[in-house]
Structures are given as structure tokens and as C-alpha cells.
Structure 1
Amino acid sequence: MGASDTAVAMSTKDSSEASLGATAAGPTPAAGTAALAIAQARVSQTDLTGLTLSGRYLVTRKVGQGGMGAVYEATHTLIGKRVAVKVLLEKYAQREAIVKRLKQEAQLASSIGNEHIIDITDFGNTDDGRTFVVMEFLEGESLAECLARETKLAEQRILRVGAQVASALAAAHAKGVVHRDIKPENVFLLKRKDQDFVKVVDFGISKSLRQSSEEEEAVRLTQTGMVLGTPLYMSPEQARGDEDLDHRVDVYALGIIMYEAASGRVPFSGANYLSVISQVLNEEPKPLRDIRPELSEEFEAIVAKAIAKNRNDRYASATEMLDDLNAVIEDPTHSTERAKITGPRRLLPKAPKIPRIAWAIGGAGIAVAAVTIIVALLMGSKAKKQLKNANANPPAARADAGVATVAPPDAGEMVPAVETIKLTIVTDPPGADIFREEELVGKSPQTVEFVKNNKEVNVTAQLPGMEGTTSINPLERKDGAEVKIRLKKLKGPPKVIIKKTGETGPQKQQGGTTSHTGGELGTNPFAGSGTVH
């Protein structure tokens, strides 16, 4: 027992004797002294500054305090290393589930072994029975503090921070650990060589996928009826209270963080917990480039895929997301070259077909016509116009020259470039047959190409006993956007859609083709612009 603890014990004894005296003979000076000693003892128990924990961690100052614990700076007395000590508040010291959570954080975080995860080195108990963990001391600020000051960050900075968080999550997931509370407060930014160096902290509510159900139940809830996690960054499956949570809840949370860092706001906010949860479950976020148009399409696509409401539409792993993040991070050497990822793209106008030429007899005429066509193609529209004028008013041919005359192009062959857009059709539930008008184009999720005109196109989705439909005006849609169709149970027979003869799969549409996204970064869960029935 240390000197401070001895003083506490003596003060408590004096207090008891003084209280007895005060009861018999009224207040005494000793009673006032004892009361002050008790107050000082309580302060010393609450504030650990000056104490030595486990005989080797000298607490030097209090850094901060949260709802469940306080963090102190301390020095290892044997090696002189500065460390941070997180200790439970007194009111939680006897709550077994919370004590298990803190110990779990120490065990899980230390088992991962990644440079972007805070290193936890020890845990123990204070002399008054409170559990503490010892971890590396971090100098910097949380991403939450950074965003409070700067509101929005540069795209490349967000990508670099996001990649480091994804690296930490990939390492955790490889060990079977899901964080479940990724948020800006738990992303700590250090400065190394003038660059952000990320540390992911607070694995206090993380879940080991290898735990038994009994072990998990002991640490699953901190408050009755409250789902673990922070609602602003909580995935829909967390918000529903689903039992089978997996690593994709962390992918979702990272996507929300990137959305916030890019737009200056979280996609869903409200006056209370339930309001936020309702939006997370039922509403679609505003597309990022509608808020901040200068963001790249690749960036928007990465975030959109990460925060898809259906977890099957998200990245399958943090590693997969990390690959896409690394693909669009610019080379630190400021090279103009940049890797590209596969994502929503605006289609380039299709090149017009070269018109057929009706040839007259004569080899020299063929050569002249060929040169004229080549020059026209190389020089562009002006040359083409001149060629058209020349064809409309050809010079008189000399009868003795055998010169070929160039006939006007076949009107049927002059096909103008058709501008198209691609939309990703997703359904709830997924796997439905998708019909564009009466044409089967595949199963959801499915990328479908539409001619960009003002003509409404009916899109129907069907599963056995279920159907949903929506009308799409391509002029009102953004290329690469997602259209979500919610299927409803049919009360009567389904709408009969007859395939064209010989059709067994996705069919070609005038001006474009239907293509599957496969593993490509093509999914964009923003469906706010679509009318869904």
C-alpha cells in the first residue's frame, strides 16, 4: 500500500472517531478536519495524478474524460517511456460487463498487430479496484477535432486517411475482429513527415467473430435497449439490431466518414437517436457530387459503394475497398499519371459510321475519293461539311479522264452519335429479373444502358410472387446513378412480359448494350433521384 493509500486509510479512521464524538457532544474541530480529509481522499481516488499504478506507471496528468472512463498520461518508471492509461470511472468499476469490454479492448487490439491500430501493452487494476489499460501515447488530434475546425478536407487527404483506416480494418477483420464503432472520434491523426498518420482507437465494443455466444452476450450491450455503435455512422443492419453483424458494418462506417469529410456533413442527422436511425433505415443520402461538384467520379463511386444500404452491395472486404482507394491516390512524387479504378463512367459519344461510297468506274477516281475521305476524317466536322458540299455540287467530270464520281452518302448509313447513360438497377430483395420495357436485361443488381432522350422507359423487376416497377426518364437521370426498385408481394397474377423470339438473356438496345458490373466499382446506392414504386 503506497503513502497516498495509507493517508486515505488514516483519514477514514479519524472520520469515524470524529463522527462518534460529534454525535455525543456536538460538532468538534476534529469533525471538520476529518470531513476535509475524506473529501481529499475521494478526490485522490477519482484523479489518479501522482499515483503509481501496478508499481511501474507513474501518472503525471489527466488528459481527458469520457462517459465511461478517463485517460491519463503516465511514465513507465523503469524505462522512462511515456504511455497513456485509460481507467474506468468509479461508478463502472463493479459493472462486470463494462469491465469485460475494457479488457476485451486490450486483448483484441493487441492481437491485431497493425501500425494503424493503437498499441495496447498492459492492463491491471488500481488500488481501489478500477480496471485500467495501458497504451501508446498519441500526440495529435482526432479526425472529429480536425473536421470541427476545417469542416471539409481535400479529396486526396481524405483518400489517404481512408486508405489507412481501411488498412487497419483489413488487419482487424483478418483476425476475426469487427470494430463496430468506427467514427471520427476513433480515428486519430498523428503527423509524420508532414503527412497524416492514422491510428484507429477504441476497440471497446468490437466483436470477435470467434467468440462464443455466451462471451459475446456479456459485452454486447452497455445500456438496456441501446444498440452498440454511434447512430450517425451506424449501418442499417446495426440500426435494425441484427444479430449476424459482420465486417461490412466497418466498411459502411468508413464510407460515412469519407462522405462527411468531403461534404462537411453526415448524410443522416436528426434531433434524436430514433430520428437518425429512421433515416439510416429508410432514406438515401444526397449524391456527393451534387454537394461538391469538384469531387472526382472515382471518389464518389468509392463512397457510394461503401455506404450501400444492402451490405451485399458494399465492398466485400476492407481490403477490396483499400485497393480502390490506393488506385486513385495520386503519387506523392506528383506524377501526372494516376491509376484508374473501374466505376461509373460517362460514355464517350459513339463515333459515326463511315458512309458508303458509290463508286464510278476508274482507278484514279478511287484514289481521289479515298484521300478526300481520309482528310475529312482527320480534320473533323469542318472538313466533313466541305466534303458534303463537294458531294452536293461535284465539278464537271471530263469524259476522257475516267474520273470516278462520289455519290451522296446513303441516308440510311448516316447514323449520328447516340448519347447514352448507364444506370444501375438494384432491387430489394436482390436477384430479380430486370425488364426494360419488354426486354429481359439480366438479374439485379444490373447496369443498364439507356438512350439519353425524353422518352419514359418502364423498368420492371420480378421475383416469384413479387414485382416492382418504375418509370425512367433518361434526361432526368445522372450517368452512373443507381435506381432502386422495392418489390412487393403480388395480390394477383404477375404482369406477363414476353421475351422476344430467341432472347435468353440481356439484349442489345439501340445506341448501347447492357453490361454486368461483376466485381467492378459500378454500384452507386444513391437512388434519391429515382421514382420507385
Structure 2
Amino acid sequence: MRTSLELAAGLELSGSIRLEKKLGEGGMGSVWTAQHLALHTQVAVKFLAAHMAQDAAAAARFQREAMAAARIKSPHVVQIFDHGVSPELGPYIVMELLEGETLSAFVQRHGRLSPAVTARILTQLCRALSKAHAHGIVHRDIKPDNLFLVDSEREAFVKVLDFGIAKNLRDETSVTSTGSMMGTPHYMSPEQMLSSKHVDLRADLWATAVLAYHCLTGGVPFDGETFGAVAVAVTQAQFVPPFAQYGVGSPALDAWFARALSRDLGARFGSAEELADSFVQLAAAAGASPALLAAAATLSTGPGLPAPTFNGVANTNGGKPVARSLVPVLAAASAVALLGVGTLVLLGSHDTPTTPISAT
């Protein structure tokens, strides 16, 4: 149980981590930059708020978040260095400090992305998902705010963030109750709408397809001004595909979306690899040559500027969004998860929500 000791710059954690600066704070906890004294590098440290630490389910999810991300061991998943419970400071996770911006911010800054750029993003995301699914881990909250584009010598590298509500299919001791709902409504599959406890990897593949739609159009396939309206749209699985709606992509890519977002689970893609490979081939056929697909690797991210987050990322782009219909709910990589469990934000028909919901 945490004592009255308050988090502050200069405090040391587990003998090797010295806190430097608080990046953000909210209902769920706080994120700090810190110096790893043994590795001689900066890291990000995520703390669970004291009142959340008293909630057994919240504390268990916090621990499982660290364990899930650490178990996957993919270069496309944020790296976990350590986690534990400090008697004075409570539960914590030590992870790599990233520089770049979220995919959400990238789309806001660049506008609609080409099929070639989208293919590059999906390929890296699906590499991470393939690793996760091989370990029986379902992320359950794939969305633009949980994909980070690391600026590595002007070549963006995709990192998957926030395994806070991930499900381990091989762990029978679930903290998700039957019938509960967890995730971000616009990115949830019909089966996840019904029960987050019983989803499998296909929920992540559905969300990946919604993310691809967002990259190409700046919107989402299933929308509504209330949660109920979004739920009805998702469960009906009726949408206007990108080419038919915006002339983006091709009729063949529209067919890809029809399969990826089918109500029939058996009709969908069977793996992350299959989903990504199919998209890459169709993107090439839609006019993106192999050379263009290779060039799409150099996604130019903006300059890294400090921004609060609860996803383990400290430095994000501070550039202004482009003038278009997509209205940001919060600043890029802001403390969305810090708003607290149970928060739901639904915007107008042209806006994309970023806040996840969680019911326990």
C-alpha cells in the first residue's frame, strides 16, 4: 500500500531509476521521464494512481499490461524494462521513451494517406499483432492513438502501445467479467460489442481494418453521435468503402474492406499476416508500384515535443493539425487513458473518438 510519499523529481525507484519530470497526470495515474542509472539512458515510468491501486481489477490489468508487452518481444511493440510495486510509490512500469508522433496526429497533419503509406503502416502493425497472437494475446484496443510512429533517421517505425486491456487467451484467470465491454467503440468488432471477454484475435483484425479505413479517408466506417448509434452501425456492418465514397484505392481494396469488416467471423481474414499481405498486394495493384511501397517506408514524422500520455510515450509531435473535418479530441498522444476507466467521448458524425471505454 502506498504511503504518503508524493511523486517528485529526484526520487529513486528500485535503486536504478531516478525521476526527472512529470509528463502528464489524470484519473488513472501519471507518466514521468526518468534516468535509468544502470543503462545511462532516459526512460518513461508509468505509475498507477493510488486510488486505482486499491482496485484489485485495475491493479491486475496494470500488471498484465507490462507482462503482455514484455512477453511479445517484437521491435514493433513498446519495450518494457521493468515493472513492480514500490511500497512508497505504488505500481509502476518502466518502458522505453519514444520520439515521434501517434498515427492519429500523423493523419491530422498529413490528411488522407495513400494506399502505399497505409500498406507500410499495416505491415508493421500486423507484424506486432502476429507476435502477440502467437502468444495468445489479443490487444482489444487497436486504434490510431495506440500506434506510434517513431522518427528514426527520417524513417518512421511503427510501435504498438497500451496493452492495458489486452486479453490473454491462455490465461483462464480473467479480470474481465462476462458481458462487460472494453475498447474504443468505433474500432470494436460486433462480437466485442457483445462481450469483450470472449473475443479472439479477429477482434484485433477488425480494428486494424477500421484503422486502415481511417488512414485512407480520415474517418471511420461505422459512426454515430451516441454509443447506441455506433453500436447499431457496427453490428449491422454496413458501410460505404473508401473507393465508393472518396475515390481512394480501388474496387479491389473495397472488396478487402468488405471481407475484413464482415459480420461473419468465418468470412474474415484468418491472421494478421494474411490481412496485411492481401492489402499490400491490392495497394500495389491500385497504382502503388513496389518502388512506391518501398518509398512509403520513409514516413516523415514531425519534431518530437513533450506531451502527456499514459501509454508509455513521452515525446510526441506538437505540429498543428491540417485544416480538415477531423477534429482532434485531445492533443496528439495526450492523456486519453488518464481520463479514467468508464469515460466515453462520442463526437459528431465526422469526428473520430479516441477515448476507450471500460466496464467492469
Q: Do Structure 1 and Structure 2 share a fold, with TM-score over 0.5?
A: yes
1:338-417 to structure 2, matched below 5 A, reads: none
Tell me which residue corresponds to 1:191: 151
Q: Which runs of 5+ in 1 are unaligned?
A: 10-41, 337-533
Deviates more, 1:326-335 or 1:105-114: 326-335
TM-superposed deviation, 1:66: 5.1
The CA distance in 1 between the partners of 2:127 and 2:150, in whole Å, is 16
How many matched pairs? 289
The CA distance in 1 between the partners of 2:293 and 2:163, in whole Å, is 38
Choose the corresponding residue for 2:137, options 174, 177, 192: 177
The CA distance in 1 between the partners of 2:22 and 2:106, in whole Å, is 22
**CA 1:71–1:331 in 2, change beyond 3 Å: closer, same or farther?**
farther
**Structure having greater relative contact order (Cα 8 Å, sep ≥ 6):** 2
Tell me which residue corresponds to 2:266: 312
Tell me which residue corresponds to 2:221: 267
TM-superposed deviation, 1:59: 1.2
Choose the corresponding residue for 2:93, options 122, 127, 133: 133
Confirm whether residue 71 of structure 1 aligns to residue 25 of structure 2: no
**CA 1:140–1:331 in 2, change beyond 3 Å: closer, same or farther?**
same
The CA distance in 2 between the partners of 1:278 and 1:244, in whole Å, is 20
Tell me which residue corresponds to 1:159: 119
CA deviations on 1:336-391 (whole Å, 9 max, x unpaired) are 9xxxxxxxxxxxxxxxxxxxxxxxxxxxxxxxxxxxxxxxxxxxxxxxxxxxxxxx
**SS of 1:123's equivalent?**
strand
Confirm whether residue 240 of structure 1 aligns to residue 200 of structure 2: no
Confirm whether residue 292 of structure 1 aligns to residue 252 of structure 2: no
Q: CA RMSD in A?
A: 2.4
Confirm whether residue 62 of structure 1 aligns to residue 16 of structure 2: no
TM-superposed deviation, 1:96: 1.2
The CA distance in 1 between the partners of 2:254 and 2:10, in whole Å, is 50
The CA distance in 2 between the partners of 1:177 and 1:151, in whole Å, is 32
Is the 8 Å Cα contact of residues 54 and 124 (structure 1) preserved in structure 2? no
Confirm whether residue 53 of structure 1 aligns to residue 9 of structure 2: no
Tell me which residue corresponds to 1:220: 176
Confirm whether residue 325 of structure 1 aligns to residue 252 of structure 2: no
The CA distance in 2 between the partners of 1:154 and 1:315, in whole Å, is 22
TM-superposed deviation, 1:196: 2.2
Is the 8 Å Cα contact of residues 255 and 304 (structure 1) preserved in structure 2? no
1:344-493 to structure 2, matched below 5 A, reads: none
CA deviations on 1:412-442 (whole Å, 9 max, x unpaired) are xxxxxxxxxxxxxxxxxxxxxxxxxxxxxxx
CA deviations on 1:33-69 (whole Å, 9 max, x unpaired) are xxxxxxxxx7x72x44332111211111122345423
The CA distance in 1 between the partners of 2:179 and 2:169, in whole Å, is 22
CA deviations on 1:1-22 (whole Å, 9 max, x unpaired) are xxxx9xxx9xxxxxxxxxxxxx
The CA distance in 1 between the partners of 2:163 and 2:108, in whole Å, is 23
**SS of 2:198's equivalent?**
coil
**CA 1:332–1:290 in 2, change beyond 3 Å: closer, same or farther?**
closer
Tell me which residue corresponds to 1:516: none
Which AA in structure 1 matches 2:176? R
Tell me which residue corresponds to 1:254: 208
Tell me which residue corresponds to 2:184: 230
Whichever of the two has the greater Rg, that structure is 1
Which AA in structure 2 matches 1:126? S
Which AA in structure 2 matches 1:275? A
The CA distance in 2 between the partners of 1:101 and 1:334, in whole Å, is 41
Choose the corresponding residue for 1:107, options 55, 64, 67: 67
Is the 8 Å Cα contact of residues 241 and 257 (structure 2) preserved in structure 1? no
Tell me which residue corresponds to 1:119: 79
The CA distance in 2 between the partners of 1:225 and 1:129, in whole Å, is 34
Tell me which residue corresponds to 1:277: 231
Confirm whether residue 96 of structure 1 aligns to residue 56 of structure 2: yes
The CA distance in 2 between the partners of 1:188 and 1:173, in whole Å, is 20
**CA 1:319–1:266 in 2, change beyond 3 Å: closer, same or farther?**
same
Tell me which residue corresponds to 1:301: 255
Length-normalised TM-score, structure 1: 0.51
Is the 8 Å Cα contact of residues 161 and 196 (structure 1) preserved in structure 2? no
Which AA in structure 2 matches 1:307? L
The CA distance in 2 between the partners of 1:206 and 1:242, in whole Å, is 10
TM-superposed deviation, 1:72: 1.4
**SS of 1:312's equivalent?**
helix
TM-superposed deviation, 1:309: 2.0
Is the 8 Å Cα contact of residues 180 and 197 (structure 2) preserved in structure 1? no
Which AA in structure 1 matches 2:130? A
**SS of 1:133's equivalent?**
strand
Is the 8 Å Cα contact of residues 179 and 195 (structure 2) preserved in structure 1? no
CA deviations on 1:487-529 (whole Å, 9 max, x unpaired) are xxxxxxxxxxxxxxxxxxxxxxxxxxxxxxxxxxxxxxxxxxx
Is the 8 Å Cα contact of residues 180 and 196 (structure 2) preserved in structure 1? no
CA deviations on 1:464-498 (whole Å, 9 max, x unpaired) are xxxxxxxxxxxxxxxxxxxxxxxxxxxxxxxxxxx
